[in-house]
C-alpha cells in the first residue's frame, strides 16, 4: 500500500514578491481575518508569506498517513539532535545535551520560569519597550518590572545598561529578548558581555528569549547568551522556536535549553502533566523547518525582508520624515518601531491610523514603558503591500494636518 502526498493547494510557492489580495483576505488567521473591510493589517507578528512548502508537505503527509495519535517517545530526542546541530552550525554554540525541553510556546516557557524561579515581589529586569506578553508575565504574576529603557542615540536605540547595572542589585532574574521586539535591535557581543557581568555579579537567573535569532538582517550572527561563557551557560535558560522564522506561530512548539541545574530540578519536580504536551503536528512542522529545503526558504525570506527594510529606509528619509514619522531601521526581526510623536497623533497612533489610514499597526502603549506615541509595523509582506501601507500612513497624516484641528486631537 502506498500513500502519495497530494500537492498542497494554492498559493503553491513562496509569494515573497507578490501575493494575491483575495488570498490574503481569505486567510483565516488572526492577522487578516480580524482586519476590517479595506484595512491592511501589519500588526501581529505573523508573516504574510505562505508557510514554507516543506512544512506544508510534512503536515499533508501526517494527515495522509491518517495517524494523529500520541507522538512517539523518541520525538523529543530527535528534535534535540536537530536543534543542537543547528545551534552548532549557525551560532557556534554547543549546548549541553540532556538539558533540552519542549514547551507549547515561548511565552508559556517564560511564564513558567517567572512563576517557578521567582516569588511575588521579586524584581525582574526587562528591556523596554517590550513584546507585551513578557512584561505582562512579570506584572501579571505580582513580580516587579525593573525597566531597562531603550535610549535614542544618533545611530539608533541603545539600552540603558547603567540603569540595568544599578537595578540589578534588586533583581532575581534578567528576562532578555534578543533580537529585541519591538526595536529590532540585535545586541552586540560587548552589550551582551555587560549584561553577563551584571548577571554574574548579582547571581541572576537569565531567561533569554531568542525566538528571532534566525532573523538577523545585518551581516553578522546572533550571539546566544548561553554561549558567552561557561558561567553564563550555567545561569541561562535559552528559549527558541521555529515559529517566527518559518511563519508557523499557530503550531505551538518551542524548545528550551535549561542551563541551571536548580531550574532543571524544579521542572522535574512539577506534576508530570502540569505543562501539557506538544502535538504531533507541531513537532512534525518544527522538524521540517530544521532541514536544508526549509533553510533555503528562510534565505529567500531574509532577502525579501532586507529589501523591505530598504523600502522602509527610503520612506523614513522621504515621505515619512515629511509627515513627522521617525524610526531606526531594525537590525533583526521583521518589525519596526516608529515614533509618531512629531506627527501629533497622541499616545495611541495605532488607533488613529486604523481609523484614518485603514492600516492596523500594533499600538505603542501595549509595549509597556516607553510605548506611548509609538507603534510597531510588521513588514513581512510583499513590497506592493508594504508600499501601500506606507503611502496610506503618509497620506492620512498629511491630510489630517490640513484638516480642522480636531481631527488630529481625535481621542480614538
Ligand atoms: C520576543 C518574542 N517572544 C516570543 C514570541 C512568541 O513566541 P511563541 O508564539 O512561541 O510564544 C514573540 C512573537 O512575536 C516574540 O516577539
209 CB near ligand 1 (under 6 Å): yes
Residue 108 — left, alpha, or beta (φ > 0 → left; ψ -120 to 50 → alpha)? Answer: alpha
Name the grid cell of 285.
512542522
CATH of domain 75-290: 3.40.640.10
To the question of domain 21-51+293-401 being in CATH 3.90.1150.10, the answer is yes
Q: Give the span between the Cα atoms of 399 and 397, in whole angstroms.
A: 5
Distance 89 CA to ligand 1 centre (A): 23
Half-sphere exposure of 115 (CA within 13 A, CB side): 13
241 CB near ligand 1 (under 6 Å): yes
126 CB near ligand 1 (under 6 Å): no
247 CB near ligand 1 (under 6 Å): no
Cβ–Cβ < 8 Å for 160, 183: no
Distance 252 CA to ligand 1 centre (A): 10
107 CB near ligand 1 (under 6 Å): yes
249 CB near ligand 1 (under 6 Å): yes
Between CA 183 and CA 193, with CA 189 as vertex, the angle to 5 degrees is 105
183 CB near ligand 1 (under 6 Å): no
Name the grid cell of 127.
528591556
Distance 107 CA to ligand 1 centre (A): 6
46-71 burial code (b ≥16 CB/10 A, e <16): bbbbbbbbbbbbbbeebeeeeeeeeb
- β-partners of residue 103 are 254
pLDDT tens digits, residue range 238-255? Answer: 999 999 999 999 999 999
Q: Ligand 1, residues 131, 138, 238: which to mutate, most atoms within 8 A of Cβ?
A: 131
pLDDT tens digits, residue range 74-83? Answer: 999 999 999 9
243 CB near ligand 1 (under 6 Å): yes
For every residue of 165-217, DSSP letters joined together read: HHHHTTEEEEEEESS-TTT-----HHHHHHHHHHHHHTT-EEEEE-TTTT-B-
- The one-digit pLDDT tens for each residue of the chain (412 residues) are 344 444 444 455 668 999 999 999 999 999 999 888 999 999 999 999 999 999 999 999 999 999 999 999 999 999 999 999 999 999 999 999 999 999 999 999 999 999 999 999 999 999 999 999 999 999 999 999 999 999 999 889 999 999 999 999 999 999 999 999 999 999 999 999 999 999 999 999 999 999 999 999 999 889 999 999 999 999 999 999 999 999 999 999 999 999 999 999 999 999 989 999 999 999 999 999 999 999 999 999 999 999 999 999 999 999 999 999 999 999 999 999 999 999 999 999 999 999 999 999 999 999 999 999 999 999 999 999 999 999 999 999 999 877 654 444 443 3
Tell me the domain boundaries of the chain. Answer: 21-51+293-401, 75-290
211 CB near ligand 1 (under 6 Å): yes
Distance 182 CA to ligand 1 centre (A): 11
Amino acid at each position: 500500500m502506498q500513500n502519495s502526498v497530494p500537492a498542497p493547494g494554492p498559493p503553491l510557492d513562496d509569494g515573497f514578491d507578490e501575493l494575491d489580495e483575495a488570498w490574503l483576505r481569505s486567510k483565516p488567521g488572526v492577522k487578516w481575518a480580524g482586519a476590517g473591510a479595506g484595512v491592511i493589517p501589519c500588526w501581529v507578528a505573523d508573516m504574510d508569506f505562505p508557510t514554507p512548502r516543506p512544512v506544508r508537505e510534512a503536515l499533508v503527509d501526517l494527515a495522509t498517513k491518517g495517524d494523529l495519535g500520541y507522538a512517539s517517545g523518541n520525538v523529543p530526542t530527535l528534535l534535540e539532535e536537530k536543534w543542537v546541530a543547528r545551534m552548532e552550525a549557525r551560532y557556534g554554540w554547543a549546548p549541553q545535551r540532556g538539558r533540552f525541553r519542549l514547551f507549547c510556546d515561548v511565552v508559556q516557557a517564560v511564564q513558567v520560569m517567572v512563576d517557578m524561579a521567582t516569588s511575588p515581589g521579586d524584581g525582574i529586569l526587562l528591556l523596554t519597550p517590550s513584546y507585551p506578553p513578557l512584561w505582562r508575565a512579570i506584572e501579571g504574576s505580582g513580580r516587579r518590572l525593573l525597566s531597562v529603557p531603550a535610549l535614542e542615540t544618533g545611530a539608533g536605540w541603545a539600552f540603558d545598561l547603567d540603569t540595568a547595572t544599578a537595578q540589578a542589585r534588586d533583581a532575581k532574574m534578567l528576562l532578555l529578548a534578543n533580537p529585541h521586539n519591538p526595536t529590532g535591535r540585535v545586541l552586540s557581543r560587548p552589550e551582551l558581555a555587560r549584561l553577563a557581568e551584571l548577571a554574574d555579579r548579582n547571581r541572576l537567573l537569565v531567561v533569554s528569549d531568542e525566538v528571532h535569532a534566525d532573523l538577523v538582517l545585518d551581516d553578522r550572527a546572533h550571539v546566544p547568551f548561553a554561549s558567552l561563557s561557561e558561567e553564563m551557560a550555567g545561569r541561562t535558560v535559552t528559549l527558541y522556536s521555529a515559529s517566527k522564522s518559518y511563519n508557523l506561530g499557530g503550531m505551538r512548539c518551542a524548545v528550551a535549553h535549561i542551563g541551571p541545574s536548580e531550574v532543571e530540578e524544579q521542572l522535574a519536580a512539577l506534576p508530570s502533566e502540569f505543562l501539557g504536551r506538544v502535538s504531533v503536528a507541531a513537532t512534525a512542522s518544527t522538524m521540517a523547518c530544521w532541514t536544508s529545503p526549509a533553510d533555503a526558504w528562510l534565505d529567500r525570506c531574509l532577502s525579501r525582508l532586507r529589501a523591505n527594510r530598504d523600502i522602509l529606509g527610503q520612506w523614513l528619509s522621504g515621505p515619512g520624515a515629511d509627515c513627522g514619522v521617525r524610526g531606526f531601521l531594525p537590525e533583526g526581526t521583521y518589525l519596526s518601531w516608529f515614533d509618531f510623536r512629531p506627527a501629533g497623533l497622541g499616545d495611541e497612533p495605532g488607533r488613529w491610523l486604523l481609523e484614518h489610514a485603514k492600516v492596523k499597526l500594533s499600538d505603542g502603549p501595549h509595549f509597556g514603558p516607553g510605548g506611548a506615541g509609538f507603534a510597531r509595523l510588521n513588514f513581512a509582506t510583499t513590497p506592493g503591500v508594504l508600499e501601500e501601507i506606507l503611502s496610506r500612513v503618509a497620506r492620512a497624516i498629511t491630510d489630517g494636518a490640513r484638516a480642522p484641528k480636531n481631527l488630529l486631537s481625535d481621542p480614538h
